[in-house]
Structure 1
Amino acid sequence: MSERPEFTVRNATMEDVPGVARVLSRAFFDDPQAEWLFPDQVSRMAKLARWWAALTGYVFVPRGRVRVAVEDGPRPVVRGAAVWKEPEEPSLSPRALLRTLPNTVSLFGLRRLPELAAFQRELGALAPATGPYWHLEVLGVDPVAQGRGIGAALLGAGLSRADDDRVPVHLETNREENTAYYGRYGFERTGELDAEGLPRTWAMLRPAP
């Protein structure tokens, strides 16, 4: 029986954007938030790929916020990605917002923009009220590569940096079963969003060491 390919965790580059978009689209295809964003199952995958590509290429990678797990071999393949926000990182620049706006309007239409803004406000209310913290915005592994420790490696790499800074780590998840997984890494539930018309969301915090 052949051995499974090894993988390397590193910072993402612009060349990784298509791979990151593919992995996150596959990982979150049936996630409650993805279903809320793109209810039509037929077009969801394509729209998710466009959405993640825009965010990754215009916001996440330029800010150095993405770590990828790349399968080693003659043709390296991105198999997992994690998006982190550092403590006290400034808000998006007007230029970054303008670059993502055409994709946002095209994918969601003008009518849904207030709804999306309301969801972001609710998520913001779940964040720690005081003190600096790291924010794990996204962690996804290609379904074909799950069970190989990729998610644990990506998570561990970020938690190590947070421990070096001696600050807590905040995250949100739309699946209650994920809270048990993150609980094994020291995360505790800190809040819940259960508002009509919005994806149910659980907030978690890993205290500073």
Structure 2
Amino acid sequence: MTEYDEAPEVPLPLPPPPVDVKLLRADEVQAAAEVLARSFRDYPVWAYIQPQDQRRPKLLAWVLKRYMRAFLTKSGLKRGYAFAVKEKPSEQVLGVVLLWRPSRTGPGSRKLQPWQVVRQGLLALPFRFGAGVTHRLLHADSGEDRQKELLKPALGAYWYLDYMAVDSAAQSRGLGSQMLSLCVRQAQAEMDCPVLVNTCSEAARSFYLRNGFSEVSDSI
């Protein structure tokens, strides 16, 4: 008679905690900026702006916090949407999306008004991070604006998906697709025109293609 050892029980993985996708509140901007800073720290454009790896996260969090605060001002609310994916019941911010509304004649402007630059303390950028970083940041932004202008005749008015990220610890749970679907539905319900996103990341490119986006170029 053969004896068999009883196989040890393998615990089943716990289901992921429930989440909400809601408009980002002003008191969540710091947490949202930190999520974006961790997600974009190795992104080529930010590596160009701040070549020193150890200093880049601080720059990203500082700039993006002020950028989002301007986005969420009374004036900024008319310019688009800021969404947050939050874990329930902790309300921890796990993901962020910034979506700029188009104008009737073309893409909406991402440029901040002078009073917003002053109010958010962005004039301190060269003093905190240096003239070189400031110059490269402005140069990188202007290059992206020129690229969008080349697409304007072909696309007309369009929404612009500016930043989107899910914190690394919360990835592989479908949160990115959930955020993207909600943003696109809400945007196109308000104004039915394309949603444009610009990325140089192959992983991000594959993600957007899987979620129904198609590629365009300035030659169309």
Which range, TM-score by smaller chain? 0.7 to 0.9
Q: Which shifted more, 180-189 or 128-137?
A: 180-189
Partner amino acid, structure 1, of 2:144:
L
Q: For residue 140 of structure 1, give the secondary structure of its aligned residue in structure 2.
A: strand
Report sequence identity in percent: 24
Aligned to 2:22: 10
- Unaligned ranges ≥5, structure 2: 1-12
Identify the match of residue 116 of structure 2 among 96, 103, 106.
96
The structure carrying a bigger strand percent of its residues is 1
Alpha-carbon contact 2:39-2:166 (below 8 Å) kept: yes
Counterpart in the other structure of 1:53? 65
**Alignment-mate amino acid for residue 95 of structure 1:** W
Larger Rg: 2
Superposition map of 1:138-157 within 5 A: 138-157=163-182
Q: Please name the residue that 2:209 is paired with.
A: 183
SS in 2 for 1:166: coil
The 1:33–1:115 alpha-carbon spacing in structure 2 relative to 1, beyond 3 Å, is closer
Please give the TM-score of this superposition, normalised by the length of structure 2.
0.78
Alignment of 1:97-136 (within 5 A): 97-98=117-118, 99-127=120-148, 128-130=151-153, 131-136=156-161
Shift, 1:103, TM fit: 4.1
Aligned partner of 1:71 among 87, 93, 97: 87
> Is residue 177–residue 211 contact of structure 2 (8 Å, CA) maintained in 1?
no
Q: Distance in 2 between matches of 1:147 and 1:103?
A: 38
Aligned residue pairs total: 191
- Rounded to whole Å, the distance in 1 between the matches of 2:39 and 2:198 is 16
Task: Tell me the TM-score normalised to structure 1 length.
Answer: 0.81
**Secondary structure of the structure 2 residue equivalent to 1:2:** coil
Between the aligned partners of 2:133 and 2:28, the Cα distance in structure 1 is 30
Structure 2 contact 98–162 (Cα < 8 Å) conserved: yes
What is the aligned-residue RMSD (CA, Å)?
Answer: 2.2
Structure 1 gap ranges (5+): 193-204
